[in-house]
Amino acid sequence: MSRIEVISFDAEGTLVTPDFSQAIWHETIPALYAGKNGVELAEAKKIVAQEYNKVGDQRLEWYDIKYWFRYFQLGSPELAIQRCQAKVCYYPEVMEVLSSLRGQYKLIIASGTPSELLEPQLQGIKGYFIHTFSSTSLLNQLKTPKFYAYVCESIRVNPAQIVHVGDNWQFDFLNSSQAGINAFHLDRVGNSQQGSLANLTELKRYLS
Ligand SMILES: [Mg+2]
């Protein structure tokens, strides 16, 4: 590796646990849907999940909370987002790792989550990062190689001097590698691709 200047982190599943996302997508939206359509919550959860799956995570709409509030005719999402704020939680090693890395490296966020969902999730840790990039909000695309190239250009750092870490094999590992970034795949559940990290403390070990 060239001399590393910047560490880039994915947000959800990497720094932030799924609790907030779960609360929004699988609790709050179904509850609103149930209220609006007069169906049981369990039924609403099924229907909503089926609609999500018809779209799938390769399409932008999957990530777009405004799209889903429109689609289910639930009004505006702001209040629901605020109500779920208390669910935001970070993985146990996150604070320690960010504190110790920020002395040596510039830290950034490279996420596919739209800003209106990303910002509430970063509230407790945003002071660690010099930049936050949302591929969906900035470029209207998923985390493609082009998005990573855009990130490198924006911060004026050569991809070879950036490390990116994230839990999605395609969007974090393959696509950032393709842009020339030093990519690490995080596999917290340990179904491990060989060479994946089990947590962010292991990343620290690789860097030192
Ligand atoms: Mg992720």
Q: How many A from CA of 69 to the centre of ligand 1?
A: 22
Q: How many A from CA of 10 to the centre of ligand 1?
A: 6
Span 23-37, pLDDT tens digits: 999 999 999 999 999
CB within 5 A of ion ligand 1: which residues?
Answer: 10, 12-13, 167
Tokens of 11: 């947000």
Write the secondary structure of 12-72 as one string of H (helix), E (strand) and C (coil).
Answer: ECCCECCHHHHHHHHHHHHHHHHHHHCCCHHHHHHHHHHHHHHHCCCCHHHHCHHHHHHHC
pTM: 0.94
The residue among 48, 49, 21, 20 whose CA lies nearest residue 32 is 48
Which residue is associated with the tokens 């018809």? 54
Span 64-118, pLDDT tens digits: 999 999 999 999 999 999 999 999 999 999 999 999 999 999 999 999 999 999 9
Q: How many A from CA of 16 to the centre of ligand 1?
A: 9
The residue among 126, 146, 140 whose CA lies nearest residue 66 is 140
**pLDDT of 190 higher than 90:** no
Q: How many A from CA of 74 to the centre of ligand 1?
A: 26
Q: How many A from CA of 70 to the centre of ligand 1?
A: 25
Residue 22 pLDDT class (50, 70, 90 cuts): very high
Q: How many A from CA of 167 to the centre of ligand 1?
A: 5
